[in-house]
Structure 1
Amino acid sequence: MNLEARKYQFIQELVKVEDESVLEKLELVLKANQNDWFDDLSKSEQEEIQLGIEQADKGELTSHEEVMKRFSKWH
């Protein structure tokens, strides 16, 4: 059974659920899968990424070509 068929089957079963506690548990599972990977990083990792974004926004970048030239002796 492909993913679309499984989703459709799940929806059909979900419509039949009458126990509110079951729905609450399913909601928790779905919400747990929606966490952003960024939130799982440590504070220092988040700060480093934010710094990189700020540098990129300011145009403080090194092109891929320049990096490849600089490190070509190890590649």
Structure 2
Amino acid sequence: MDIQTTKLELLKTILENEDAEFIQKLSDFVRKEKSDFWFDLSYAEQKEIQKGVEELKNGKRVSYETFLEKIS
């Protein structure tokens, strides 16, 4: 069975189904599957990552060995 046929069958199943719990479970599953980890991070974590990306863009890098020394 090709992907387009599968999609159409899924769509038909959803449209014909009147079970609110089933629809909610399906909705939750789809939302979870396409969620981006970025939104699971705190604002502070997002800012730290953005800061690191900007530092890399500006050529500010630290060797792995230096990084290990800092956290040890």
TM band (smaller chain): 0.5 to 0.7
Alpha-carbon separation, structure 1, partners of 2:31 and 2:16: 21
* 2:11 match: 11
Q: Percent identity of the aligned residues?
A: 29
Q: Which has the higher contact order (CA 8 A, sep 6+)?
A: 2
CA RMSD of aligned residues (A): 2.8
The one-letter amino acid paired with 1:9 is E
User: Deviation digits for residues 6-57 of structure 1, max 9, x if unmatched?
Assistant: 111100111110111111111111111121033456888742x31233235x
Relative to the length of structure 1, the TM-score reads 0.57
- Report the TM-score when normalising by structure 2: 0.59
Structure 1 24/53 Cα, relative in aligned 2: closer, same or farther at 3 Å? Answer: same
1:60 to 53, 58, 61: 58
Count of aligned pairs between the two proteins: 59
Q: Which runs of 5+ in 1 are unaligned?
A: 63-75
Match of 2:26 in 1: 26
- Aligned partner letter, 1:60: N
